[in-house]
């Protein structure tokens, strides 16, 4: 698998089309959820994606903290093609996204909006669930948090 991490302006049209197609295939068609995917955040985001034979099969959108003192970075639109979910691509995708946040955003904590059925997956990567459940586009979600400070403390 070939991995790339690009700003919006660095994306070429084929890669932009590929990542939007993957997001639509999974979030709209597979999950039968009509929602506004194009939310004007892509232009401010970093786009991490994995390609297999020139096809984008894994993707995550990474957003910087809104301010240096009081906000979280975020990882969202995390998606893996159905045919690649069995080979731990999602875990590798998230590890790469977390590592990027670690270096790019001066270890700012990360907040994600996780689909509730994936809570244990995100917990296995070090995210914490704090009891914040909600419906997003009629799908159960929960807020989850990742702290680089707590990771360092648990490694000492």
Domain ranges of the chain: 2-110
Q: What is the pLDDT of residue 152?
A: 52
Q: What is the pLDDT of residue 33?
A: 84
Maximum Cα–Cα distance for the chain, whole Å? 46
Q: What is the pLDDT of residue 150?
A: 66
Percent of the chain exceeding pLDDT 90 equals: 79
Mean model confidence pLDDT for the chain: 92
Q: Is 156 helix (H, G, I), strand (E, B) or coil?
A: coil
Q: What is the pLDDT of residue 26?
A: 93
| Cα–Cα distance measured from residue 114 to residue 76, given in angstroms and rounded to the nearest whole number | 8
Q: What is the pLDDT of residues 101-146, one digit of tens each?
A: 999 998 889 999 999 999 999 999 999 999 999 999 889 999 999 9
Q: Is the pLDDT confidence value at 68 over 70?
A: no
The CA-atom distances, in angstroms, between 65 and each of 58, 72, 95, 98, 148 are 23, 5, 18, 14, 14
Q: Which helix (H) or strand (E) holds 131?
A: strand 128-136
Q: What is the pLDDT of residue 86?
A: 86
Give the list of residues 6+ apart from residue 135 with CB closer than 8 angstroms, or none.
Answer: 141
Q: What is the pLDDT of residues 1-13, one digit of tens each?
A: 999 999 999 999 9
| Cα–Cα distance measured from residue 138 to residue 131, given in angstroms and rounded to the nearest whole number | 18
Q: What is the pLDDT of residue 155?
A: 55
Q: What is the pLDDT of residue 156?
A: 47
Q: What is the pLDDT of residues 37-49, one digit of tens each?
A: 889 999 999 999 9
Please identify, in words, the CATH class of the domain defined by 2-110.
alpha beta
Q: Of 93, 86, 28, 29, give the one whose Cα is nearest residue 60.
A: 93
> Tokens 């400070």 identify what position?
149
SS3 content of the chain, % helix, strand, coil (to 5): 40, 35, 25
| Cα–Cα distance measured from residue 97 to residue 20, given in angstroms and rounded to the nearest whole number | 18
Binned at pLDDT 50, 70 and 90, residue 92 comes out as very high
């Amino acid at each position: 698998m070939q991995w790339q991490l690009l700003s919006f302006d660095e994306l070429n049209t084929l890669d932009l089309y590929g990542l939007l197609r993957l997001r639509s295939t999974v979030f709209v068609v597979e999950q039968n959820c009509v929602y506004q995917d194009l939310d004007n955040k892509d232009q401010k985001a970093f786009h991490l994606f994995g390609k297999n034979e020139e096809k984008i099969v894994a993707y995550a959108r990474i957003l910087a903290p809104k301010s240096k003192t009081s906000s979280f970075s975020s990882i969202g639109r995390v998606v893996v093609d159905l045919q690649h979910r069995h080979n731990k691509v999602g875990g590798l995708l998230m590890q790469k996204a977390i590592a990027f946040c670690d270096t790019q955003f001066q270890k700012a904590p990360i907040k994600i909006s996780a689909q509730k059925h994936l809570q244990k997956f995100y917990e296995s990567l070090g995210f914490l669930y704090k009891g914040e459940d909600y419906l997003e586009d009629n799908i159960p979600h929960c807020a989850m948090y990742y702290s680089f400070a707590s990771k360092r403390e648990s490694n000492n």
